[in-house]
Copies of this chain bind each other. A is one copy, B any other.
């Protein structure tokens, strides 16, 4: 058996598989080929299913896992499961530990948030539905005015959207509720509303989105899950799940979505103006 220890990542494992597969007995090579061909199945299958797929006995598959340096199938599967879940199972607990230990240096903390941001970005690219995005951009670019609302944590996103739309010469109104002034009646039919809210959802944001919808405006929602209270309000639901830590999330993915929205809308508007001179 190989003296080296077990691979620490899926990539490393696949490299190892290719490396050793030539010198392997027949059945074990079948396993190697099958794993190399369907690495994605490992995470969600049982040994029985894998071995059947490879055309071997379960015990043969077990030996294969052990040749790779694992104690058994379960250990190997854990690797695949973790990589699928993208490690954000326990970001909260990891950071919690970092904080409790006190040994968590600021740089380590920053590294955690950088990593969380990266995962959020990847997840955004993977899960966002292009059609919903297209529809949202269409609604926004056809609007006479874009109203933006987001409170508390989401306010930074709202203010960024307001800034960027202004740069793009898109008529915009940021509903900031300074002085608790109620500005919901500024929304007209033919306008559009971008409502941003994350759990715990801010009632003011939801209320303004509903008011806008009643007034005949299209509503685009940026929120964190399908369970959002904005779901009944609009079909244009852009969901962004950031890896968060208690009340904190870095908003990396949300901001990227925001800037993409703005640029797309700005471009669409310019094209329309040029196309209809």
Q: Residues of A with Cβ closer than 8 Å to B?
A: 14, 17-18, 21, 32-33, 36-38, 40-41, 43-45, 49, 53, 81, 84-85, 87-91, 94-95, 98-99, 101-102, 104-107, 109-114, 116-118, 121-122, 124-126, 128, 130, 133-134, 137, 152-153, 155-157, 159-160, 163-164, 167, 178, 199, 224-227, 231, 241, 245-253, 255-264, 267, 271
Which residue on chain B has the smallest CB distance to residue A249? B259
Bound-complex Cα distance A114 to B159 (A): 20
Give A17 Cβ to nearest chain B Cβ, in Å: 8
Which residue on chain B has the smallest CB distance to residue A136? B106
Chain B residues near A104 (CB, 8 Å)? Answer: 267
Give A267 Cβ to nearest chain B Cβ, in Å: 5
Whether the Cβ atoms of A137 and B263 lie closer than 8 Å is: no
Whether the Cβ atoms of A117 and B110 lie closer than 8 Å is: no
Given contact pairs A91-B126, A124-B114, A160-B156, A259 touches B250 in the complex (Cβ within 8 A): yes
Q: Could you show 25 A-B contacts with beta carbons less than 8 Å apart?
A: A33-B227, A36-B226, A40-B84, A41-B89, A43-B44, A44-B84, A45-B89, A91-B126, A98-B125, A105-B134, A106-B133, A106-B137, A110-B124, A111-B125, A113-B257, A113-B259, A114-B121, A114-B125, A117-B252, A152-B163, A155-B160, A167-B248, A178-B178, A245-B259, A250-B258
Whether the Cβ atoms of A85 and B156 lie closer than 8 Å is: no
Which residue on chain B has the smallest CB distance to residue A53? B89
Chain B residues near A101 (CB, 8 Å)? Answer: 130
Chain B residues near A118 (CB, 8 Å)? Answer: 118, 121-122
Whether the Cβ atoms of A159 and B155 lie closer than 8 Å is: yes
Give A188 Cβ to nearest chain B Cβ, in Å: 25
Partner pick for A21 among B163, B227, B253, CB 8 A cutoff? B227
Chain B residues near A255 (CB, 8 Å)? Answer: 117, 156, 250-252, 255
Whether the Cβ atoms of A227 and B18 lie closer than 8 Å is: yes
Whether the Cβ atoms of B44 and A81 lie closer than 8 Å is: yes
